[in-house]
Each structure stands twice: as C-alpha cells, then as structure tokens.
Amino acid sequence: MMKRAILILSGLFLAVSLFSQQDQKKTVAGFRPPSVPLVTHDPYFSIWSPADHLYDAETVHWTGKRQALHSLVRIDGKTYRLMGSKPSNLEPVNQTELVVNPTQTIYKFANNLVRIELIFTSPALPSDLDILSRPLTYITWNISSADGKSHTAELYFDCSGEVAVDQADQQVIWEVNDLNGLKAIKVGSVDQPVLQKKGDDLRIDWGYGWLAVPTGQNPERTVGPGEQLRKAFSTDGKIPAFQDPGARAVKDGFYSMAVRWDLGSITSKSTTRWAMLAYDDLFSIRYFEDYLRPYWRRNGMNMEYLLPIAASGYQSLMDRCQAFDQKLTQDLTQVGGEKYARVTSLVYRECLAAHKITADQKGQPLMFAKENFSNGCIATVDVIYPAGPFFLLFSPALTKAMLKPILDYSASSRWKFPFAPHDLGTYPHAIGQAYGGGELTEEDQMPVEETGNIIILLAALAKEEGNANFSKPYLPLLDKWAKYLLSKGFDPENQLCTDDFAGHLAHNINLSAKAIVALASYAQICSLSGKTDESKTYRKQAEEYAAKWVSQATEGDHTRLAYDQPGTWSQKYNLVWDKLLNLNLFPKSVIQKEIDYYIKIQGPYGLPLDNRERWTKTDWILWTSTLADKSSDFDALFNPVYNFIQATPQRVPLTDWYIVDNAYKVGFQARPVIGGLFIKMLSDQNLWSKWFKQGEDMKSIKQD
C-alpha cells in the first residue's frame, strides 16, 4: 500500500507535538470531525473544511492545497461571514451546529437577527449509478428571521479558479453560459493537458469547473479577484458586472467565479437559494490504450445537458438523500451504536471520493481506486480489499466494476506471475503494475496478500448474489491462484503484506490466516460454479490448515505475530471473513481469547497492529472489533478509535494510519480503505442482504 522505502519511526511522533490538544477549539455539536466533507466526488474533485467552524479556515482539496469557497451574507446593511476565513475583519454568524450525514453536510448558524442553514448535498445514492457518478454538489442556503422582525438580506458565494488547476500559477480562462433555466460560469486551464500527469499529490488541470444557479432566483454572476469581489459585496451588497479578464494565472488575485442574490425582505418563513458546483473532467482514466469517459458522460451526455437535468431534479434529490441518510443512519446505529453511526456517516463520501467511476467501450462501469497519500497507485488490490465492505454492502455493480480491471489484467498476457498483481499503475494511468518499478520481480510483490484478497472478495460477492456468475470467466485464473495458496499460503515466505510500511516478514500468521480463509472461499466459489470435487478438495485442505494454524500460532492467551517468533502478537483482522462468509474454520474460543487479549493490551486511542510499533490502522481495528460476538467487546475496541477521531490534531480527511498513544497521524488520508469501517454492517446478515439488494441499478447495469 505504500513504497516500502518510506519508513517512518513512530518514536518521532511520540516525541514531537504539533500543538497542544488543550488549544483545540471545542466542537459545537459533540462530534468533531478532523475535516468536514463539502464537495466530494472523486480524487480530483474533493473539497473539505479543515476546521471546527466553516468560517475558521479556508476550504481545501483533500491534499491540503487551497481550493477556496466563500459565502457572505448582509443583514440590514451589515455583512457577516459564513464560509471561508476571509475577509477576516468580518464578524461571522455564529455556527451553532454541524451534522455530517452520509450524503449531506449541514451547518447551522444564528445570531440575534437571523438563522441560516447551509447544506452541502452530494447525491451519492448507490442504487442509481447515473446520479452517483455525477460530479455535482448542491449548495443550499435557508435563511429566516430569528427575532420575528423582517430584515433586508443579500447573499454571496464564490468558488476559486483553484478547482481547475494543479498549481495556482497556471493560467485559466472563463466563460459565462445561459443554459436552460440556469445562469452558469465555467473555468478551466488554458493548456488542458488531458490525462498527461500521473502521481499522488496532484490536482486536476484539465476539464472545467462549473458554477450554476437557477435563473428564477434572479442571481447576478461575475468573475474577478475574489478579495475584491468580497470587498465590494461587504461594502454595499453589490458585485461588479462580468468582464472577461482573459487568460489569468489563478494566483493573480485568486480569481473566482461568484454569484450574488438580493433576497429582499426575509421573515420567520425560510427563504431558500441554491447553487450547483460541478466538474467536467472530459476524460477520467487512461486504461491501457483507451481513454475512459466518466460514467455519467455515456450516450453523449455533457455538462451543458446535465446541469439543467440536475436542476430540475433538485427537490426530488434532496428528499431522496434525506430519506437515504435517515434509513442508513438508523441501521448503522442498530448494528454498532450511535458513535459508530457518526463515524461511518463521516467516511461515507470520503470512501467514494477516493474512486472514479468510468464507462468502458460498451458503456459498462469500471471503477478505479486511488492510493491517496501513500504512493498514488491506481486499482491497488490491497486497497480494494479493505474498501471492499463498503461496496459489498451498497453496490454489487461497483464491486464488480472495481474487480474487473484487475482480473482482466491478471488474465492477460501482460501479467506473468502465478499470483495476483498489486496494482494497475499510477493514478490516473491504469497501464500495468507500478509498484516495485522497472522490471518486476517476485520480491516486489505481495503474492499471498493480493491473491487472497481477490478470492475472498469474489466469494463474498458470490455469497450475496447466490451465484458465481461473475467469477466464472475467471475460474482458470482463480484455480491457478488457489494452487499458489495451497503451496505458499500456510507458511508464507519472506513477503510483504498490505501493511508494507512495517517491512517484509516471514511466517506471518495473519497472512497465513488470509490464505486459509481464501482457500475456503475458493471452495465456495467452486461449489456455486458446479465444481463439486474441487470444492470438497479445497474445503478439506482449508480445514486441515486451520487446525494446524491454531496449533502452531497459539501462545498462551493469544496468537503470535509469526510462527517462529515467541513472545509476539498481532491483530488477526483477516479472520473476520471466516465469520462473515460462515466458513467456520476457526474455533470461537480461539477468537474470543484474541479479543480478550486485544482489549487488555490496547492503547488509549486503539489497538496497535502488532508488538513491533505503536501505530495502527483505523480500518483494521474495525475488522478486528467485528470479530467480537459481544457488543461490549466491540465497543471496547471501537470506542478508542472514536476518541482518536475526536482528539487527532491533524485536520485532514480521516486517516487510517496513526499512533495509538497520542492520536497523531503517521501518514495517509482520504483513502479508499476508510470504507472498511462499514464491515460491521456485514456482520448482520439481514442488513447486509437488505442494502445489497437495494444497491443494483437494474435499469442501466448489465449484471454479469
């Protein structure tokens, strides 16, 4: 998951404090996200607020680079700040509440004159891939009088041209467009280097950002240096008329797209205005010889057509998103408690925004994950694996869409090894494995890790669908992989696993557990494919390996890190699939001993990965805690993670790699793997089946 050359000493993080936790501001609503999702769609269109209050800091891309959004409001001639830290001399309307739901982020503000609700809605509805794949967020303002009196009001919003460039010294150009019922502005780079760059810490510099508002709301729109526009509005509630500034470097005054509304007189009845912020990347992924369009752009769709359609569906989508959020939050609370529901609601859009949904040449979906702030790889198998629970819960179509590219690559002549690859390249270029670099050797690989990952996910998909139709074309490949696990899986050689920042490890017991579970998973796939004899053979071998595993891995009240290392221990998160797939390979008594041991030795902010370091992974703790059958044990392991989220000083989209003693982030942020937190939902078979069945868009997705 990360270049193994990038090794970080955890002791450094224990010794160095970025700032005192006592200096942190208290959250207003009891739950303090490290960073708040605002506009969250894919690795390039992903804007966050890294602060407790929306007016405390400038909004940023998930990488931390500024992508500024601002909102101001004038009440009875006095201007207040709602979003963004500038102009800093303006008094904010006090933020009174923040609620982060799966598809919506809701801010509430109030003073003695007005109440304001500011809502960001990304309609991430997994049952409708046409809507889910739209790179479009609705921003809604609801404003009403707080004192029973009427007040004059004007409203302002701007979006920096930074959304369309990698670096602020790049030049951009603007257009104003009158679409069907909309007034719009678009911004894009002058050079338009479509899919020319690849890497990790990059932002998009091709395609076009769009700001669109309904004509019926009587908006005024313009483009100009953001500071000047906000100053003009704060002075007299006006903005200058649009005059095309020509090609400009964004940094030259931080040129912004802006809109202003005159609300007239507001009363205790809410006045609503809304806008759409969208990004059309034209082409999303280079997939070997093909340049893939985003999924929403099938059948000739473009942003000029999409924006009016999206506008006409505004109220319907608001209603659908609210209903979706309510139902999902109820089920999350039922299975894991209120704290679990808060955390998974926070990471719902974070997980999706680390992926890009594209269409192949036949119009079918292919989805690509990006390794954000680890090494920038695309379609990484040991990222797909921890993200898998999210997609196995919500979308059979997307589960297949993320597995198909790696399976097709593995089955092609491009891949020469008898085990699964690590990745498909460096985002957004899916042109062959990049991990290891140069001439690939077995030493560069994660053979048991990646092979087990794919087989387990395919078995989980087949279990829920009740058939192995998706796996059938790949059975020769899977059979080759299963044979590899038979010979190499029980006692792995000196290999890397997904936690590659810890280095190579021979005789890895957690990796051995993965291989055993994968062999039993392959037996299930064979059974559903009519290969009865093969199913029996692999099932029997998995059972024999599991018994041998218990005998050789156990040391007193826990299991070791490696077979040949007494006095060690590690999280056995891979065992969770034994429970979720009803494989019943490992005795419950062994699992309970592990859980009891973990609770006893964990740190204040969670359970370390193993005895070697004090770092951990957010996703793996959730997998480990899901092993527990008792809710009290789940809470005992999960609650420290919740406390970490509250305490971590790094204001970034939730990390999955941190120190359990002080809540400091080691590395990684905004990564696909955060979807692994949804694994607890899979432990309730009824809930898993309920959401899985709702997740297929039957109208536009071919099943197999």
Q: Which domain holds residue 111?
A: 33-323
Task: Please tell me the predicted confidence (pLDDT) of residue 315.
Answer: 98
> Measured between alpha carbons, how far is 63 from 38 in angstroms, rounded to an integer?
14
| Neighbouring-strand partners of residue 158 | 70, 258
The closest alpha carbon to 82, from 145, 25, 156, belongs to 156
User: Which residue ranges in the chain fall short of pLDDT 50?
Assistant: 1-29, 698-704
Using an 8 Å Cβ cutoff, are 158 and 258 in contact? yes
The closest alpha carbon to 68, from 137, 172, 164, belongs to 164
Cβ neighbour number for residue 73 with a 10 Å cutoff? 28
Helix (H) or strand (E) holding 488: helix 475-488
The closest alpha carbon to 255, from 159, 157, 166, belongs to 159
Return the exposure string of 217-247: e unless at least 16 CB atoms fall within 10 Å of the residue's CB, then b: bebbbbbbebeebbebbbeebebeebeeeee
Residue 467, classified by CB atoms within 10 Å of its CB into exposed (0-12), middle (13-18) or buried (19+), is middle
Using an 8 Å Cβ cutoff, are 476 and 482 in contact? no
Q: What would the two tokens of residue 239 be?
A: 């903005």
Cβ neighbour number for residue 684 with a 10 Å cutoff? 14
With the C-alpha atoms ordered 576, 578, 584, 587, is the resulting torsion angle positive or negative? negative
Radius of gyration of the chain (CA): 26
Is residue 515 one of the residues assigned to a domain? no
Three-state secondary-structure class, residue 111? coil
Q: What would the two tokens of residue 674 be?
A: 């955060």
> Measured between alpha carbons, how far is 307 from 36 in angstroms, rounded to an integer?
25
Using an 8 Å Cβ cutoff, are 370 and 427 in contact? yes
**Strand pairing category for 658-659 and 615-616:** antiparallel
Task: Report the Cα 602 to chain-centroid distance in Å.
Answer: 26
Task: Please tell me the predicted confidence (pLDDT) of residue 163.
Answer: 98
Maximum CA extent, the chain: 81
Three-state secondary-structure class, residue 148? coil
> Measured between alpha carbons, how far is 510 from 649 in angstroms, rounded to an integer?
31
The closest alpha carbon to 657, from 647, 644, 646, belongs to 644
Task: Please tell me the predicted confidence (pLDDT) of residue 11.
Answer: 39
Task: Please tell me the predicted confidence (pLDDT) of residue 696.
Answer: 67
CA dihedral 39, 41, 44, 45 (to 10 degrees): -30
Is residue 208 one of the residues assigned to a domain? yes
Return the CATH number at 211.
2.70.98
Residues whose CB falls within 8 Å of the CB of residue 644, separated by 6 or more in sequence, listed in order: 605, 606, 618, 658, 660, 663
> Measured between alpha carbons, how far is 579 from 685 in angstroms, rounded to an integer?
11
Supply the pTM of this predicted model: 0.94
Using an 8 Å Cβ cutoff, are 537 and 522 in contact? no
Q: 426 phi and psi, to 5 degrees?
A: -115, 125
| Neighbouring-strand partners of residue 214 | 182
Question: Could you write out the DSSP letters of every residue in 61-99?
Answer: ETTS-B--EEEEEEETTEEEEEESS-STTSPBPPEEEEE
Task: Please tell me the predicted confidence (pLDDT) of residue 502.
Answer: 85
What is the identity of the amino acid at 9?
Answer: L
Starting from the edge strand earliest in sequence, which strands make up the sheet with 69-75, in order? 78-83, 69-75, 151-160, 255-266, 220-225
Is residue 549 one of the residues assigned to a domain? no
Q: What would the two tokens of residue 29 be?
A: 């609503």
Is residue 71 one of the residues assigned to a domain? yes
Question: Could you write out the DSSP letters of every residue in 550-611?
Answer: HHHHEETTEE-SBTT-TT--B--GGGHHHHHTT---S-HHHHHHHHHHHHHH-BTTB--SBT
- CA-to-CA separations, 633 to 228, 252, 583, 629, in angstroms, rounded: 56, 56, 22, 8
Domain count, the chain: 1
